[in-house]
Structure 1
Amino acid sequence: MTAAHSHIVTLVASREAGPLTAQDVARAMAYAQGRNLVWLEDGRAAEFQAPAAPDRSALDAVMTHKAVDIFLTRPRGRRKAVLVADMDSTIVTAETLDELAACAGIKDKIAAITARAMNGELDFHEAIRERVGLLKGLPVRALEETWANIAYCPGARALVATMNAFGATTALVSGGFSFFTARVAAELGFAINRANTLLDDGTALTGEVGEPILDKTAKLASLEEFAEARGVKLTACLSVGDGANDLPMLKAAGLGIAYHAKPVVAAEVVNKVVHTDLTALLFAQGYPASAFKGVEP
């Protein structure tokens, strides 16, 4: 890669919206002055070199396929040594605290607070204490009932399995709760999981959260810790999340990707998954589909 072609443009199309065509890619390359096209998956993902980061809106406009996620990366060190992922609405489809609240019949009330907190409108510490406080007295069996209905976001299993297979450190770091992160990590293969702790008296929730609360600062500190443990710089790290408490780690990582993110997050993060799934994070690192592991049927 020469200085004249210092960026990689990766195009990943939504399967549901139809294939990514050679004509679409050709239009994108012509606009971006691209060269050295590589198809990562026929009809779905392609990448090429460009002399500069193209304007995304303009790139969208030249393509007829309107459900394509565009990733801009540097060629050096594209395959990351560390993955730090948020859990709720990133690796699993739901906000687990909201789903737990459904067992208490107050999902709408708690979900409204969650939405505001994840968009950065509320103090995270106050919001989590308020929501957990509303669950005081909820039987602990509700945790198992909630877990039984948790589903994974498309591509989650392949993302973790592939990065594990290629030697990355994989960590699940959540502002949610360890009851869920421990189970998600065990099922998907995350090497590390960290989260907050829901306190109970053996029978019911006490309405309290264990201290200290894992927040955006702790997420960033975890990213830095894992990079140091691997002996790599933050540029060798990938982070993914959707909420305001993920922003510091998304902005610090060499590749930070906002996943179907809240508006405040999407506005500040360059690389975003809007139309596709978590396998887009693998394509953005240059992995071809043929290298994917743990692909869901």
Structure 2
Amino acid sequence: MTTPKEHHPGLVVQNLPANLKLSNFKLIAFDMDSTLINIECVDEIADAVGRKAEVAAITEAAMRGEITDYKESLRQRVALLKGVTLADLEQIYQERLQLNPGAAELVATCKQAGLKVLLVSGGFTHFTNRIRDRLGIDYTRANVLEVADGALTGGMVDQPWGDICDGAEKRTMLLETCAKLGIDPSQAIAMGDGANDLPMMGVAGLSVAYHAKPAVRVQAQVAINAGGLDRLLEILA
């Protein structure tokens, strides 16, 4: 086992094959909240009903891996969002949500190199669909917030594949997408920041932690601890 080394300042690499190229890969999978974008959407939605601190504390514990039942933690948080309006969600998208540095550049470079792009999120389709359209992402999986009379009910809507996109579902979606593309999971890159990203990072050929929680950094082959998402390209020629 190689000792982790700083490839460049703020870029830690461990157990990486030599001469790795972007062209070795056919799929890149991203987490959304705090990876592709700058916010945790659930925390910002909670702010609209004055519950940000309460919800953010649960999110932080879940991302650090201190809460083992991610689905239950998400149900708890979503229940606290009851009454948030669709207008509030739109305001969050317009005023608070930004792509993280290097996100658009990395996605564009991957697409130019022939990779398909997957967005798998424990967050919500209200935001993932917009990011999908903005960046030209090929596949997405995320949770659907239940809405009645223009406001959130505090519940989520079951989907054909299941109820909640947790870590296990992220892994399943990555493997299903590889199968659909006729590629091996070793030809996939997975990028995330929280404990619920570890299952998909564990089956991908290259695992990348972006400004991640400690438990995620130590398990990833590449940890980007400073700078933008496109720093991955410093390693992949």
Give the alignment's TM-score, normalised by structure 1: 0.73
* Counterpart Cα distance in 1 of 2:212 and 2:10: 16
Q: Does 1:55 align with 2:30?
A: no
Show structure 2 runs of 5+ residues with no match.
none
Counterpart selection for 1:198 from 145, 149, 155: 145
Q: Does 1:138 align with 2:80?
A: no
* Counterpart Cα distance in 2 of 1:232 and 1:255: 14
1:78 shift after superposition: 4.7
Shift in alpha-carbon separation, 1:137–1:68, aligned structure 2, 3 A = closer
Tell me how large the CA RMSD over aligned residues is.
1.7
- Give a deviation string over 1:17-40, Cα, whole Å, max 9, x none: xxxxxxxxxxxxxxxxxxxxxxxx
Residue 73 of structure 1 contacts residue 284 of structure 1 at CA under 8 Å; is this kept in 2?
Answer: no
Counterpart selection for 1:257 from 191, 194, 208: 208
Shift in alpha-carbon separation, 1:68–1:136, aligned structure 2, 3 A = closer
* SS of structure 2 residue aligned to 1:163: helix
Q: Which residue of 1 aligns with 2:131?
A: 184
Counterpart selection for 1:248 from 180, 199, 202: 199
1:18-33 to 2 correspondences below 5 Å: none
Q: Does 1:230 align with 2:181?
A: yes
* SS of structure 2 residue aligned to 1:279: helix
Number of aligned residue pairs: give it: 228
Q: Does 1:70 align with 2:43?
A: no
Q: Does 1:157 align with 2:104?
A: yes
* Counterpart Cα distance in 1 of 2:17 and 2:76: 40
Shift in alpha-carbon separation, 1:118–1:70, aligned structure 2, 3 A = closer
Q: Which residue of 2 aligns with 1:284?
A: 235
Residue 140 of structure 1 contacts residue 202 of structure 1 at CA under 8 Å; is this kept in 2?
Answer: no
1:68 shift after superposition: 3.7
Deviates most, 87-96 or 193-202: 193-202
Q: Percent identity?
A: 38
Show structure 1 runs of 5+ residues with no match.
1-52, 287-297
1:6-155 to 2 correspondences below 5 Å: 54-56=2-4, 59-60=5-6, 67-71=9-13, 72-75=16-19, 78-79=22-23, 80-122=25-67, 123-148=69-94, 149-155=96-102
Report the AA paired with residue 126 of structure 1. Answer: E
* SS of structure 1 residue aligned to 2:100: coil
- Give a deviation string over 1:114-172, Cα, whole Å, max 9, x none: 00011111111111111110111222211101111201110000111111111111011
* Counterpart Cα distance in 1 of 2:74 and 2:65: 13
* Counterpart Cα distance in 2 of 1:114 and 1:201: 25
Higher relative contact order structure (alpha carbons within 8 Å, sequence separation ≥ 6):
2
Report the AA paired with residue 224 of structure 1. Answer: L
* Counterpart Cα distance in 2 of 1:232 and 1:201: 41
Q: Does 1:218 align with 2:169?
A: yes
* SS of structure 1 residue aligned to 2:229: coil
1:54 shift after superposition: 4.6
- Give a deviation string over 1:208-241, Cα, whole Å, max 9, x none: 0122111111100111111112211111100100
* SS of structure 2 residue aligned to 1:73: coil
Residue 68 of structure 1 contacts residue 276 of structure 1 at CA under 8 Å; is this kept in 2?
Answer: yes
* Counterpart Cα distance in 2 of 1:164 and 1:76: 17
Q: Does 1:273 align with 2:224?
A: yes
Report the AA paired with residue 173 of structure 1. Answer: V
